[in-house]
Amino acid sequence: MNKNLYLNFILTVATIALIFLGITLINAVDRVQKSNQNILKRFDQLEETIASIPAQTVIPATKMTTTKVIEKITQIANLQYFDPKAASGGRLVSAISSDTPNMNVLINNEATASTFNSLCSSTLATRNLEDPEKFEALMAESWTISPDKLSYTITLKKGILWHDFTDPVNGKEWKNKEVTAEDFKFYLDVIRNKDTNCGPSRVYYKDIEKIEIINKYKFKVVWKIRYFRSLGLTLGMFPLPKHLYHAYPGAFDPKKFNDDHKRNRMIVGCGPYRFLRWDKNKRVVFVRFEKYFGKKYGIMPPLKYRVYKIIKHANTRFQALTSAKLDRLNLTAEQWVKRTDSAIFKKGGKIEKIKYLGRGYSYIGYNLNNPLFKDKQVRLAFTHLIDRKRILKDIYHNLGKIVTGPFFYSSKAYDKSIKPYAFDIAKAKRILSKAGWKDSDGDGIIDKDGKKLSFTFMQVANHSTQQKILPLIKEDMEKAGIDMKIQIFEWAVYLQRLNQKNFDVCLLGWTTGYEADPYQVWHSSQADKKHSSNHISFKNAKADRLIVEIRRTFDPEKRAKLCHEFQKILHEEQPYTFLFVNYSLIAQSNRYRNVKVFPLGLDTEIMWTPKNKQEKVSGI
């Protein structure tokens, strides 16, 4: 049956349903409301099914039943953006400000680990760089989707190999081991095991009913409930090497997975780069995997080495860039404005500047387990004491925008009609006074029930931006009679205190996904869990209901309206003082070719350097 016949069939069903609705209204008046709800729900599902059929969909001509599936077959992802004339070889040396605790991305919920994992791992499919709404195949040969969007059947490409490695615990050498459906099942089994420290990932896959192995190269993922991100999450899965993380007899031990320090110091994947070495507090080196399956499809990254140097101080990082020890650096706003006026940064110079609005946002988070911050009036007053316009102007040189919510600023989910609370010390003092905070003993610090309004603000050591922001906040807090202390921690300790919820106030940032799902950061089910992204322990019943509804709504316009409602709750409750979405400010050597900025940012896997401009990696 072709697509036109299929749509005619759907329209016929819709017509019959309308007739059924009319009969129901005439003959069963006492059940009108219930009938309407049920039928409208069926129509919503029908509309979503029709709207979801992509232009290139192939609809089988047999078995016109409710179990019929939609077949999806695509070319290899993003092939068109790779330059067929690219020279192979060379390097890209970047910098990070602090070392990472471990390389296991399932238990390490920080951006650095995610960056490293994305180099080494591959997924079933990925978004098209120019059109992020469209998924294109990577490891998957094809996939089928049931009309109710609950069942996804994946067929893998054959011959995909794991990276070769030597087990650091038992010394066993692994070579040419093929990726199979079992490795994807292992990935989900580990995430869904309640005793692994995989909380941030677990929230996304908690509604999966089962994963069923059909054969070596085929498996089915079945969801219990409809979830608008189920397609992206299913196709975004990467395999987990069972031969690394379950290299012992007997049942899988989640404690070993969490605490296996030797194995968690490496990455074994099947992606374009393989982990080569980690010189603690110095650098992490990756080398191109020459047996990468993407090579025969034309998507092998041209650059041979990816290196990340650990350089704590911003000035030292900048000096490394200008002396060609770094090839690429994310600049601070001050560096962008004040330190890139020399000849090497001008047109035709050795370093190119690239600027685009980022997908993340920064925020001040209040630990809601602290009795002080349980009162939303205190949180509101604190927001009025944060001079965001001054911080944006003086520290970020206006290279950003003040935000009022957690969604991607350029998306429909973000409600731009919600305006930021103004910086107003007098108003903050009135709010606090109304809440019972007054200077009863004349020492300049307001108090309530015999307790001073005092708190500690955590600062990341050697973080140049926080070093400038926190003293400004402290100064304005003092004007309102608040005692703010600043305590400095190395990043590893900072992260530990955050995971253990052992802090008062933090200043951090999140990278926002292309599709908005607030569950991981905001749902109350995550509030009391250690190592969760809801580290401030936010709980709100109305917000929970909206989050669940957002997850069940496939229509983008309806989902955006729900996101707006959710953003209004956060604006009223102020569990975060939302700060800014900043511009990504990148400086990199001008020897790179095929440098393109896409809707989701700059893609480095398609870049290359001419043979006569390629640089080596020292010590390799």
Closest CA to 190 of 237, 227, 143, 126: 237
- Please give the pLDDT value at position 531: 86
Closest CA to 200 of 281, 109, 268, 128: 109
Question: CA of 248: how far to CAs of 167, 222, 242, 243, in Å?
Answer: 12, 29, 10, 9
Confidence of residue 200 (pLDDT cuts 50, 70, 90): confident
How many C-alpha atoms does 14 have within 13 Å on its Cβ side?
A: 15
- Please give the pLDDT value at position 544: 98
Strands (E) across 111-223 are located at 125-127, 135-137, 140-145, 151-156, 165-166, 173-174, 208-215, 218-223
Share of the chain above pLDDT 70, in %: 88
Share of the chain above pLDDT 90, in %: 81
User: Does 37 score more than 60 pLDDT?
Assistant: no
C-alpha span between 274 and 267 (Å, rounded):
8
Mean pLDDT, range 165-187, rounded to an integer: 98
What is the model's pTM? 0.74
- Please give the pLDDT value at position 46: 29
C-alpha span between 243 and 488 (Å, rounded):
41
- Please give the pLDDT value at position 71: 53
Yes or no: say if 266 and 275 are a contact pair by the CB < 8 Å rule.
yes
Strands 451-452 and 483-489: unpaired
C-alpha span between 110 and 88 (Å, rounded):
31
- C-alpha angle 199-251-205 in degrees, rounded to nearest 5: 25
Angle of helix 556-573 relative to helix 376-384, nearest 10 degrees, comes to: 90
Yes or no: say if 90 and 614 are a contact pair by the CB < 8 Å rule.
yes
Question: Torsion angle of alpha carbons 530, 533, 538, 544, nearest 10°?
Answer: -110
Top-confidence range, 75-79, 204-208, 344-348, 380-384 = 380-384
- Please give the pLDDT value at position 70: 52
454-480 pLDDT, tens digit per residue, is 999 999 998 989 999 999 999 999 999
Segments in 339-387 forming alpha helices (H): 376-384
Worst-scoring range by mean pLDDT, 50-64, 189-203, 390-404? 50-64
Question: Pick the residue with more confidence: 619 or 589?
Answer: 589
Q: Is 209 helix (H, G, I), strand (E, B) or coil?
A: strand
Residues sharing a CB contact under 8 Å with residue 2, sequence separation 6 or more, in sequence order = 59, 61
